Structure 1
Amino acid sequence: MMFMFRSLRLRRAARRHFGWQKLRPAQLRAMRALLAGRDALVVLPTGGGKSAVYQVPATLLRGPTVVISPLLALQQDQIGNLNERGDPALRAVRISSAESPSKQAAALAELRSGAAKFLFITPEQLSSPGRLAEVRALRPALVAVDEAHCISSWGHDFRPDYLSIGHLIRDLGRPPVVALTATASPPVREDITARLGMRKPRLVLSGLDRPNLFVAATHCPSEDYRWRKLLALLEEASRPGIVYVPTRRAAAELAERLSDAGFPAQAYHGGMAAGVRHRRHEDFLADRVPIMVATSAFGMGIDKPNIRWVAHVALPDSPDSYLQEIGRAGRDGEPARALLLYRAEDIALQRFFTGGAPDLAELRAVAAALHGGPKTRTALAQATGLGPRKLAGHISLLEQIGAVATGPRGELSVARYSPLPDQAAREALAEYARYQAGQRSRTDMMRRFAEGRGCRMQSLLGYFGEQLSRPCGHCDSCHGGTSEVLPDDGPYPLHSTVRHAKWGSGMVLGYEKDRMTVLFDDVGYKTLSVSVVQAQGLLAVEARR
């Protein structure tokens, strides 16, 4: 009865405030959980209506909804979409570095009086004890964490500033939490749940396959061949489009080369001045830039429905980033294309990007400094001489092995039962090695996707734990006749827990021909021969997690 009542209330709110006659089943499942006061982890494809998941329930909850989002441009788009409706129940305000103190005060006043319903804010703003106290006093009814994959060290867009969000939510009075992302593999989902302190969240995972997106990959024996294949795409495909490259230098050089060849393009990367990035972002949204050549820094906040193609001229670091980036094409439902042009040399480049292990002495210094008493991050940086980004990474590792605790005002201290500094540093280094093994396995999975001859979407979605029962019909393998119908299941049930004598415990994610993919806790993703596994008894089924 309650189930039907909540669904009815949500559908009425969607019609009244947004004019939506229907809600998608996945949206409705997540909304019902939030209306019941439960946490929810929502993984929906780009264009799948993630924002509606928190916006509709917010109109039915007492108190404001706090939306934590990493990019000001992304916040501005969402605020504009809400306020343009002219509905007082959807009034949204923002507190960020872009607003003057007087505008920030006015935003808080609107929220206190009930004139505004949504507060958009960054983690950096909430990290201020004074600001946190002001937002807590508003007694928020819901916290929405947008682009939640940013919180995960497994994620392709890891942001250290997101690491504190779980502590901040607790200090806000711990209202229900909804975490939203377009792609999240099982380890990323586990990271999000743990770092946000989510309490048995309702997982809503739906529709990662995009039938209107034709997916293809081509091996390029030389850079000249890769260049000619890219030109062939540009000559026959409509615009606008995005070309993803691995480095800042490659973005600048390729944009210039394409422009010289008669294909007007602009470059975008994280090393540009903020003003330049903002202008190019806005120019692309307004169709003033037909081709954007960019690093992975270009993406979040690109709410543009008519992107006709996305090309990658190097192997992406993981299926996570790849699915996120190609998902920006064809959001209007019209046909779009995704083309991956890869070379064997791309693997070596990704190995280089993973970098070296953190310094044991630096980890020990951070742990030792905390033994001298609670410290703010600023004081800890001064005590250790480490920069903000490196320090955040070290703190994250020490938190993961239980050596760091965060106090009510954001101060850091030694966790209860924490090992001594030297032992803590060594355990943190071991945790990093485990993470790196997972990172390498993700790159290997991306290579398998590129080099495989079976259905590409079956291979890609299997990584995320979603099994297609038949070939997708919209990839180059399916059109070339090389895809095969997969079995509905294999000798080990999907998502069952198995144990390997060397690699430990893992989860079965999917099958492709005679191969199975298993995500192991300690070594990441592995692709195994089903016949060899069975013949040698390599895996044993464990009790379900």
Structure 2
Amino acid sequence: MGKDADLLIETLARHYGHSSFRPGQRELIEIILKRENALGLLATGGGKSLTYQLPSLILPQLTLVVTPLISLMIDQVQKLRQRGRRDATYINSTLRPEEIRQQLQEIRAGRYKLLYISPEKLQHTAVIRILKERGVSLVAIDEAHCISQWGHDFRTDYLRLPEVVEALGSPPVLAVTATATTEVSDEICRLFQISPNHLVKQELNRTNIAYDVLDVQSEREKQEHLLSLISGLHGSGIVYCSTRQAVEQVVACCREAGFTSVHGYHGGMEAMERALIQEQFLRNKLRVIIATNAFGLGIDKPDIRFVLHYHFPASLEAYVQEVGRIGRDGQPGYAGLLYLPEDVMIHQRLIAGETLSGDDVERFVQLVAAAGERGGRISFEELHGILGVGENQMRALFFYAERVGVVEQVVQIRESFQFHSCPVSLPDAVRQITGHLSNIQQSKQEKLGAIVSWLQQESCLRQQISGYFGEDGAADYDISCCSSCGLDRSFFCLPTQADVREPVEEWRLEQALAELLGEKMAIGGQK
């Protein structure tokens, strides 16, 4: 092990400039290099990416990183290339079909050793065939909690991954996540046959983050508190809202209050605008982002000083993930949540809107049977028009339809599903699919109940979070613990209000876009 240890430290120093590993990183890498499966529960900002990037430099064949986070793929590949690694690339829905074909040809030719890929792209047999021909030394599964129906961000595409790993020749699997309860981690280990001895867990508690829950009685009081916090808190931060409409309203409120270095971010914006806003935040051109949970996934900004929740998220897992973006540089940070009890109705409406009745499922099964007779293809538009469902719900319907024998050989092609339909008993199929979907909705309701209970209880917020994730004992902290234990908010604020009014020059989208595109073109010319 001495020679292997020297190799790991040498590789770490040469490629990352570090002389030592963070807790858990080395243990995971050593398990993987022994060609055994492992699960890493590493806190947000705890260095998950290094646990698969570094082995990719040592392992002989391709390292495959499965992640649903497109922004993470792009950001990490860009950073790797800036550090001189030209053997990293990604495949996801942002690429045109001809670009994907080109990437696959280059993968087959051995140009790349590290490939980031979205889970839905691994449903294509042609992709699997090329990856197997190339040879895969490691499958790293980021956001591994997505495989569990008890997880807060369950994705049916992840449930297909054990079959994908087997089709690739059963290479070692490294599953990593920041937010998994004991129940979820047990399920991940079962699905990927990970030994309990190969579960490596960092302490979830982030000692540099202070937790604050502020009770408010009205929307107006909430807005006043928010403006006061943004005005007073030091450094850059994120404000999370549960809906796009709320994002727009809060941004307007901030603008009326005179904040110029604030911008909104949500999934309804154009991709270019979202990328620009993210880039400007990373460069400290924007101080505060008002966003839905679409923002922050895969963002590598170590000096975020605060995260505020205008609405509480739908689960404690989501909360921990979002506030975990604070203070990755180890400096003190503030997590403030404005608690208005009736905000629970926002989540109740969202859950109700995702719930499909038995009649909905019956229409889906009938639609699939009819489509099977005319070639076995249904577009997203057709499904949405008939059932009113989004893409994730469509994938869930097809996943469970395949599991109960309604369809087989399901492939997502662009904005449609292609499949073969099978003769089945309609009532049995509807009952089974409805049962699976009901379990998912029940889990969401339970997680919503858990975070509401956390907000309403009066004991230590930090200890309650640790207990939820199966960590016992005292929860240490650096400066301040939480509002239940006593919190001095002034520590996280600027000494005077005069320091707040960020840049004198107002941030303008058009100017920022022109500057960014100029730099991107210059970088592109250096390839």
Range class of TM-score, shorter chain: 0.7 to 0.9
Question: 1:21 is matched with which residue?
Answer: 19
* Counterpart selection for 1:44 from 42, 56, 67: 42
Residues 206/375 of structure 1: CA separation in 2 closer, same or farther (3 Å cut): farther
Residue 456 (structure 1) aligned with residue 467 (structure 2): no
Partner SS state of residue 313, structure 2: coil
User: 1:330–1:242: structure 2 CA closer, same or farther, 3 Å change rule?
Assistant: same
1:425 equivalent to 2:421? Answer no
Instruction: Tell me the amino acid that sits aligned with residue 59 of structure 1.
Output: L
Give the corresponding residue for 2:295: 298
Q: Indicate whether 1:92 and 2:92 are aligned.
A: no
Structure 2 Cα separation of the partners of residues 68 and 128 of structure 1: 14
Q: 1:309 to 1:455 in 2, by over 3 A?
A: same
Identify the residue that residue 259 of structure 1 maps to in structure 2.
Answer: 255
Structure 1 counterpart of 2:54, which letter? Answer: V
Cα contact 1:310–1:339 (8 A) shared by 2: yes
Aligned ranges for residues 182-331 of structure 1 at < 5 Å? 182-190=178-186, 192-193=188-189, 197-200=192-195, 202-264=198-260, 265-331=262-328
Higher deviation after alignment, 328-337 or 358-367: 358-367
Matches within 5 A, 1:52-67: 52-67=50-65
CA gap 1:98/1:49 in 2 versus in 1, 3 angstroms: same
Distance 1:403 1:101 in 2: 30
Correspondence for 1:390: 393
Distance 1:8 1:391, change over 3 A: same
Distance 1:315 1:71, change over 3 A: closer
Aligned partner of 1:469 in structure 2 is 474
Q: Which has the higher contact order (CA 8 A, sep 6+)?
A: 2
Q: CA deviation at 1:229?
A: 1.7
**CA displacement 1:440-476 (0-9 Å, x = unmatched):** 2211211122122211111012111122335655212
**Matched residue SS, 1:209:** coil
Amino acid at match of 2:438: A
Whole-Å Cα distance in 1 between the matches of residues 235 and 94 of structure 2? 32
Q: What amino acid is aligned across from residue 58 of structure 2 in structure 1?
A: L
The Cα offsets for residues 363-414 of structure 1, whole Å up to 9 and x where unpaired, read as 34555777899999962669986665433222344567x5568659898678
Paired residues of 2:39 and 2:194 also in contact (CA < 8 A): no
C-alpha separation between the residues in 2 aligned to 1:280 and 1:59?
33
Q: Offset of 1:234 from its aligned partner?
A: 1.6
Q: 1:470 to 1:173 in 2, by over 3 A?
A: closer
Give matches, 1:504-523, under 5 Å: none
For 2:373 and 2:189, how far apart are their aligned partners in 1?
27
Opposite residue 331 of structure 2, the aligned amino acid is E
Code of the residue aligned with 2:214 in structure 1: it is T
Q: 2:411, 2:97 → 1: CA distance?
A: 22
Q: Which of these residues, 125, 131, 142, is aligned with residue 135 of structure 1?
A: 131
Equivalent residue letter for 1:36: K
- Identify the range of structure 1 (311-320 vs 54-63) with the bigger mean alpha-carbon deviation: 54-63
CA 1:100–1:63 in 2, change beyond 3 Å: closer, same or farther? same
d(CA) in 2 for partners of 1:390, 1:344 = 28
Query: What are the Cα deviations for residues 199-242 of structure 1, in whole angstroms up to 9, with x where unaligned?
Result: 54732221211111111101111222212221221222123111
Deviations 1:257-283 (A, max 9, x none): 101102232111112222222221222
Unpaired stretches in structure 1, ≥5 consecutive residues = 482-545
More helix by share: 2
1:25-84 Cα shifts (integer Å, max 9, x gaps):
311221122112222222211210101111222222221111222233211221122223
The equivalences for 1:38-187 within 5 A come to 38-86=36-84, 91-99=87-95, 104=100, 107-108=103-104, 111-112=107-108, 114-187=110-183
For the structure 1 residues 320 and 425, does the alpha-carbon distance in structure 2 shift closer, same or farther, using more than 3 Å as the test?
same
Using the alignment, how far apart are the partners of 2:23 and 2:224 within structure 1?
44
State the Cα distance separating 1:339 from its structure 2 match: 0.2
- Per mean C-alpha deviation after superposition, the further-off stretch among 234-243 and 403-412 is 403-412
Deviation at 1:424, TM superposition (A): 3.1
Instruction: Tell whether the 8 Å contact from 1:167 to 1:406 is kept in structure 2 after alignment.
Output: no
Taking the aligned partners of 1:225 and 1:355, their CA distance within structure 2 comes to: 28
Q: Is the 8 A contact 1:307 1:328 kept in 2?
A: yes
In 2, are the aligned partners of 1:94 and 1:104 still within 8 Å (CA)? Answer: no
Which SS does the other structure have where 1:82 is aligned? helix
Q: What residue identity is the alignment partner of 1:445?
A: A
Separation (CA, whole Å) in 1 of partners of 2:60 and 2:398: 36
Closer, same or farther in 2 for the Cα pair 1:94/1:441, shift >3 Å?
closer
| RMSD, matched Cα | 3.4
Q: Give aligned pairs, total.
A: 473
Q: Return the alpha-carbon distance in structure 2 between the equivalents of residues 404 and 7 of structure 1.
A: 51
SS of the equivalent of 2:239 reads strand
CA contact 1:375–1:412 (8 Å) conserved in 2: no
Q: Residue 422 and residue 346 in structure 1: after superposition, are their counterparts in 2 closer, same or farther (change >3 A)?
A: same
SS in 1 for 2:64: strand
Query: What is the deviation of 1:337?
Result: 0.4
Output one character per residue of 1:126-146: Cα deviation in whole Å (capped at 9) or x when no partner: 333323322221111111122
The one-character-per-residue Cα deviations of 1:258-317 (angstroms, maximum 9, x if unpaired) are 011022321111122222222212221122221111111112121111111000012211
**TM-score computed with the length of structure 1 as normaliser:** 0.77
What displacement does 1:353 show?
A: 1.4
- The residue number in structure 1 matching 2:444 is 439
User: In percent, how many aligned pairs have the same letter?
Assistant: 33
Q: Residue 343 of structure 1 aligns with which residue?
A: 340
Gaps of 5+ in 2: 413-417, 489-527
